[in-house]
């Protein structure tokens, strides 16, 4: 049984669990944990020594040779051990395989309590309270203290999760007999409930709190260093120089960071679902090569299996069931939106997903700790352009977009985000993709025709010929342009001709083909657009891959790279909405819906080629 995603499903689950709990309560004594197979006895010994990851593996091995209630009890013990080892995703995956209808005695309540703990880790306090209520109906004596502590933790998290974490850290520091790396890791785990923005406030004088002994600063440094895969040595040296009396020394900083990094490992078995035929075959190949390149660069031993999909969503559903039956603990894919939506409609999922497209409906029932989405969504890109303009003091825009379904979608997304941030689209116009001359359209958009009309009226009134130079409107800060490269090459020179060349032009990433061509793209000079690192690094540094098609698929290669590198950090990103993952597609952060948003890499055409650039305040 998986963690139920809906209240209705929860009610059905509660009814089944409650009936089992009532039957268990009628028993004369709670069923002891089975210890039949040798693996189970070794698992108990490993747990006693605090080796929870080893214990979890042994409990799973015991389950493989057991049957009936014992097998489910061993799986439950494995899921508990994985959580104690700090491997929440692995715990969720194993718990999903437990058939709770075969549990007996105290294991039924333990099943509910573990669901509650995982819900708390995911930040879903409603689900946690639900399972705590279910467990409370027939709670064995040996689980009452665990239930009480979980209930208190939910209550405190309801009030102030950051404050609760900071108070717990302060108490732990006060009562600590002596520092060691394990205790340091425990403190960093507690501080995961404090977002980076809050840590930064606490780490900055005069907000530094003595009772926290600079741990907010230390946590922030290590958190950001690990997610960026930064060199720890200079950070450790700077830390020791700033805090020479701290228990965490220069060497201790590196030891602590490496030990903490060990909690963010990729799962042992991962499945990749990508198209190998149909309309998205080329995109799938580029993503695959980016993912494999990142896989080869990583040192973790991960069993990687690829599952082919096609244009039909049923192929993704079939690939999903195959992946789960083969023991996949994480799934990356699918790519097609219809396939993403089909998988979300399954409701209960047996492993976490990183889907490579944005679901049509982000308000579905699937828990946010199980489904994440990463894509190069055009609507999200348009919204990023709007935010970028507002960040740099540009609050009025003229929108020019292709009269296509794509153009209308991205223009609507830009306008919506721009307005939400206090901006105003003062004028907009669309053009037919086949048009080669946009002169009349631009004259109307820039109100040059109105200027000419005023001249004509004045000449008629005065009865004399006037020396006159038509002027354009000047009530806007930038152009938003949604156009293909060929259209952009026609529009940009015409803007210069109509004296609008000095206005910033922020265009959709489609303005660049991906294939550098100085001669053709010289007319695009000055246009700023969102892109990925592939298109701003020297060509000599780009791997010569056929799948990238001379650069036209470079952004998708970067998407595959990010998909692989992101997986171990998603639990931390879920807890810390302020944290940014510096990826190849841009700086990525997690929305509450499980959707990864990106601050793209920004480029400007200069001399006909894109170069990485930042937009200065007030335009350029």
Encode pLDDT of 28-52 as tens digits.
Answer: 333 444 456 788 999 999 999 989 9
For residue 339, the SS3 value is helix
pLDDT band at 363; cut points 50, 70, 90: low
Q: What is the 3-state secondary structure (H, E, C) of 35-102?
A: CCCHHHHHHHHHHHCCCHHHHHHHHHHHHHHCCHHHHHHHHHHHHHHHHHCCCHHHHHHHHHCCCHHH
Residue 1 has pLDDT above 50, yes or no: no
Residue 120 has pLDDT above 90, yes or no: no
Sequence-distant (≥ 6) Cβ neighbours of residue 497 within 8 angstroms: none
Q: How far, in Å, CA of 309 to CA of 292, rounded?
A: 18
Nearest to 305 by CA among 354, 345, 257, 272: 272
For residue 542, the SS3 value is coil
Supply the pLDDT for residue 620. Answer: 35
Highest mean pLDDT among 6-10, 126-130, 174-178, 487-491: 487-491
Count Cα atoms within 13 angstroms, Cβ side, for 576: 28
CB-CB contact of 293 with 236 (8 Å): no
pLDDT band at 364; cut points 50, 70, 90: low
Q: How far, in Å, CA of 367 to CA of 349, rounded?
A: 9
**What region, left, alpha or beta, does residue 300 occupy, with left being phi > 0 and alpha being psi -120 to 50 degrees?**
beta
Supply the pLDDT for residue 211. Answer: 74
- Beta-strand pair 596-606/586-590: antiparallel
Count Cα atoms within 13 angstroms, Cβ side, for 289: 18
Q: How far, in Å, CA of 330 to CA of 354, rounded?
A: 8
pLDDT band at 271; cut points 50, 70, 90: very high
CB-CB contact of 401 with 481 (8 Å): yes
Q: Which residues pair with 396 in a beta bridge?
A: 424
Written as six digits, the tokens of 466 are 């006037």
Query: How many C-beta atoms surround the C-beta of residue 182 within 10 A?
Result: 11
Highest mean pLDDT among 99-103, 106-110, 138-142, 218-222: 218-222
Could you read off the pLDDT of 174-224 as tens digits, one per residue?
A: 888 889 999 999 999 999 999 999 999 888 765 455 678 899 999 999 999
Q: What is the pTM of this model?
A: 0.77
- Beta-strand pair 424-431/396-402: parallel
Q: How far, in Å, CA of 391 to CA of 125, rounded?
A: 34
The average pLDDT across 83-110 equals 87
The average pLDDT across 224-228 equals 97
């Amino acid at each position: 049984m998986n963690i139920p995603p809906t209240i209705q499903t929860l009610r059905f689950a509660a009814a089944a669990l409650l009936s089992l709990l009532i039957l268990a309560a009628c028993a004369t004594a709670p069923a002891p944990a089975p210890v039949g197979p040798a693996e189970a006895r070794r698992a108990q010994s490993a747990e006693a020594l605090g080796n929870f990851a080893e214990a979890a593996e042994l409990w799973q091995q015991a389950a493989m040779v057991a049957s009936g209630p014992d097998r489910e009890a061993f799986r439950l013990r494995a899921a508990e051990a994985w959580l104690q080892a700090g491997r929440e995703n692995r715990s969720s995956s194993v718990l999903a395989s437990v058939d709770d209808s075969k549990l007996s005695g105290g294991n039924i309540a333990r099943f509910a309590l573990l669901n509650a703990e995982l819900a708390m880790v995911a930040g879903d306090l409603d689900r946690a309270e639900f399972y705590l209520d279910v467990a409370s109906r027939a709670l064995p004596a040996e689980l009452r203290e665990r239930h009480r502590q979980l209930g208190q933790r939910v209550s405190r998290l309801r009030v102030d999760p950051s404050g609760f974490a900071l108070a717990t850290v302060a108490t732990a520091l006060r009562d600590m007999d002596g520092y060691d790396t394990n205790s340091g890791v425990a403190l960093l785990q507690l501080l995961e409930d404090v977002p980076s923005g809050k840590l930064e406030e606490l780490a900055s004088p005069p907000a530094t709190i003595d009772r926290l002994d600079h741990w907010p600063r230390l946590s922030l440094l290590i958190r950001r260093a690990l997610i960026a895969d930064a060199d720890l040595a200079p950070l450790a040296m700077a830390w020791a120089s700033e805090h020479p009396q701290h228990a965490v020394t220069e060497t201790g900083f590196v030891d602590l960071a490496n030990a903490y990094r060990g909690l963010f490992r990729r799962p042992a078995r991962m499945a990749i679902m990508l198209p190998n035929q149909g309309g998205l075959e080329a995109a799938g190949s580029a993503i695959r090569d980016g993912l494999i390149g990142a896989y080869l660069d990583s040192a973790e031993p991960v069993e990687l299996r690829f599952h082919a999909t096609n244009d039909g969503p049923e192929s993704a559903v079939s690939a999903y069931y195959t992946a789960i039956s083969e023991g996949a603990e994480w799934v990356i894919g699918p790519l097609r939106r219809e396939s993403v939506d089909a998988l979300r409609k399954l409701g209960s999922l047996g492993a976490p997903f990183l889907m490579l497209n944005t679901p049509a409906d982000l308000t579905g029932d699937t828990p946010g700790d199980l489904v994440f989405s990463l894509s190069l969504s055009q609507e999200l890109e348009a919204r990023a352009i709007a935010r970028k303009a507002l960040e740099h003091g540009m609050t009025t825009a003229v929108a020019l977009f292709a009269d296509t379904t794509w153009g209308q979608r991205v223009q609507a997304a830009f306008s919506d985000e721009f307005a939400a941030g206090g901006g105003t689209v003062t004028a907009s116009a669309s053009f037919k993709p086949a048009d080669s001359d946009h002169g009349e359209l631009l004259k109307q958009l820039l109100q040059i025709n109105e200027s000419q009309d005023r001249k004509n009226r004045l000449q008629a009134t005065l009865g004399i010929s006037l020396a006159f130079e038509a002027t354009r409107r000047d009530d806007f800060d930038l152009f938003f342009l949604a156009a293909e490269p060929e259209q952009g090459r026609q529009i940009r020179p015409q803007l210069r001709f109509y004296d609008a060349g000095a206005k910033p032009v922020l265009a959709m990433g489609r303005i660049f083909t991906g294939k550098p061509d100085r001669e053709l793209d010289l007319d695009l000079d000055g246009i700023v657009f969102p892109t990925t690192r592939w298109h701003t690094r020297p060509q000599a540094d780009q791997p010569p891959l056929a799948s990238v098609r001379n650069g036209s698929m470079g952004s998708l290669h970067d998407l595959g790279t990010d998909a692989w590198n992101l997986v171990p950090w998603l639990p931390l990103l879920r807890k810390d909405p302020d944290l940014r993952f510096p990826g190849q597609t841009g700086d990525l952060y997690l929305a509450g819906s499980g959707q990864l948003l990106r601050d793209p890499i920004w480029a400007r055409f200069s001399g006909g080629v894109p170069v990485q650039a930042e937009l200065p305040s007030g335009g350029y």
